Amino acid sequence: MTDPNPSGADALVHLDRAQLERFVVDVDVRGTIAQSVDLKLRRGQPLWCAKGSLLAYGDDVGWQLKIPGGAGSAVSRMMSGEGLSLCYVTPLRDGAQVTLTANQPGHLATWDLSRGPITCTAGAFVAAVGDVQIDVTMARKAGAALFGGGGLFMQRLSGSGVVIVHISGDFLSRELKAGQKLLVSTGHLAVMSAEVDYGVRGVGGCLKSLVGGEGLFMTELTGPGWVMLQSLKKTPATPQRRAGR
């Protein structure tokens, strides 16, 4: 039996229809290896989505490129790896349908922001609906910009809406107590609760780095909070995805 009130990352293990249906008319999840989702939208309920995630949509859907947070966030957004702008989708009638995809092998999941804000690494964010604020946050330890894999700037999502994220490969969740640390191979971090501290740590010498195949540094995460790892590293975004459609 599914826990109706899962804790931490346990709430981020599948695409929850009930969460999304608070904001949309209907939800249909497709695929297993590289999932997509059909959303039938309510008129007047806009949807933010990553550029390149719009697989298909009807002529009763309008969209434009917008910068979340306005022009003041332009520079930091570019450095987050998600590009300057996102797609802002507007349904022109009830039942207007869009199909979203992450263009990567893996799984889609939802996070209800009423449970708390989250931080996403590049490529994890797919879409958001409801009263959602999409900001850019800076890693607390500047070395993460060069070696951490997630980058110095990441997307922070807060508010009272629902976010759709993508995890490449399979989900691997970890709950961290206050002060507890977890070292993660570069590129395998996908999403974390906003209170988790983020930095880097050296692996202890060039020989270990060369033999181990993990590079000189590992991503260091410090609790309290939860983290969601991905079993596959995301491949670089294609030119089409970076440019949008």
Average pLDDT score over residue span 158-182: 94
- Which range is least confidently modeled, 42-51, 75-84, 157-166? 75-84
Range of the domain at 75: 8-243
pLDDT at 2 (0 to 100): 46
Q: Is residue 72 in a domain?
A: yes
Residues 150, 121: contact at Cβ < 8 Å?
Answer: yes
Average pLDDT score over residue span 134-155: 65
Q: Is residue 139 in a domain?
A: yes
Q: Is residue 41 in a domain?
A: yes
pLDDT at 23 > cutoff 50: yes
Q: State the total domains in the chain.
A: 1
d(C-alpha 98, C-alpha 38), whole Å: 6
Q: Is residue 3 in a domain?
A: no
CA–CA–CA angle 142, 147, 153 (5° rounding): 50
How much of the chain exceeds pLDDT 70, in percent? 73
The confidence band for 245, taking pLDDT boundaries of 50, 70 and 90, is very low
How much of the chain exceeds pLDDT 90, in percent? 52
Q: In what order do the strands lie in the sheet with 54-57?
A: 24-30, 36-41, 96-101, 54-57
pLDDT digits (tens, 9 = 90+) for 175-196: 999 999 999 987 899 999 999 9
Instruction: Mention every residue, 6+ apart, whose C-beta is less than 8 A from residue 224.
Output: 176, 177, 178, 179, 180, 195, 196
Q: Is residue 172 in a domain?
A: yes
pLDDT at 244 (0 to 100): 42
pLDDT at 94 > cutoff 60: yes
Instruction: Mention every residue, 6+ apart, whose C-beta is less than 8 A from residue 61.
Output: 41, 89, 90, 91, 92, 96, 97, 98
CATH number reported for the structural domain that contains residue 25 in this entry: 3.60.160.10
Mean pLDDT computed over every residue of the chain: 82
The dihedral sign for the CA sequence 124, 129, 134, 140: negative
Q: Is residue 1 in a domain?
A: no
pLDDT at 209 > cutoff 50: no
The confidence band for 131, taking pLDDT boundaries of 50, 70 and 90, is very high
pLDDT at 152 > cutoff 70: no
pLDDT at 1 > cutoff 70: no
